[in-house]
Amino acid sequence: MDNTVGSRGFVKLTQRQQDILLGKMLGDGFLEQNGKHVRLKIDHGAQQKEYVLWLNEELKSFALKPYQMSVRDKRNNQIYKHWRFATYSLSALDSWIKLFYLNGKKIIPSSIDNLLSPLSLAVWYMDDGFRRTDCKGLYLCTSAYTIKEQHVLQDCLRKKFNIRTTLHFARSNVRIYVPSSQVDIFCCIVRPFILPTFYYKLFDPVTTDSLAS
């Protein structure tokens, strides 16, 4: 990927930063054209403040400081606290928006097999995953993607990590499901990178109880 000069001068994304960025793009990360180049925007609820601060620290070489703001939900007229930050507009991110967007819509690139790392998977899960409470199973919330794209992600998980998944249909939503037979493999891969605030999303590989939150 292009790691060239951005609007703030020379910026070289480390491999770790690229892995984190990839996980964010599979999850809730948002890229937008901002002037000549592209920037990343991060937005999470107040309960995920620690996560936002961690992301900001990891990307601090090209990120603005995080801030809290109030957001009104038009659906129920309630006000919620959010933590946000954006990166500088960088030419190093120009190739990313071409990779992950088509006609303004986020997509899954066909080259995802070559990009996904254990750290990327962990960031993706912290962003957009959760464990079931009624059985030993995990979900990756992929309903924003097409069925074809979800098949691409399933193939990637199988080829890269030997994790075999299924698709679960719930009304009009479809998402990737990690069944009980694969949960220990999944948790073993992501556990080293999961922040303590997200331990509740994991299963203990021995007892199948969740870790203390």
Per-residue pLDDT of the chain (213 residues; tens, 9 = 90+): 544 444 554 678 999 999 999 999 999 999 999 999 999 999 999 999 999 999 999 999 999 999 999 988 888 888 989 999 999 999 999 999 999 999 999 999 989 989 999 999 999 999 999 999 999 999 999 999 999 999 999 999 999 999 999 999 987 889 999 999 999 999 999 999 999 999 999 998 644 444 333
Give pLDDT, residue 10. 60
**CATH classification of 111-201 is 3.40.50.1700, yes or no?**
no
Q: Which residue has the tokens 């066909």?
A: 110
Q: Which two tokens stand for residue 152?
A: 């691409």
Gap between the Cα atoms of 90 and 88, Å rounded: 6
Domain 5-102 sits in CATH at 3.10.28.10
Give pLDDT, residue 209. 46
Gap between the Cα atoms of 106 and 97, Å rounded: 9
Give pLDDT, residue 210. 41
pTM of the model: 0.89
Taking the domains of the chain in order of start, what are their residue ranges? 5-102, 111-201
Domain 5-102 shares a fold with domain 111-201: yes
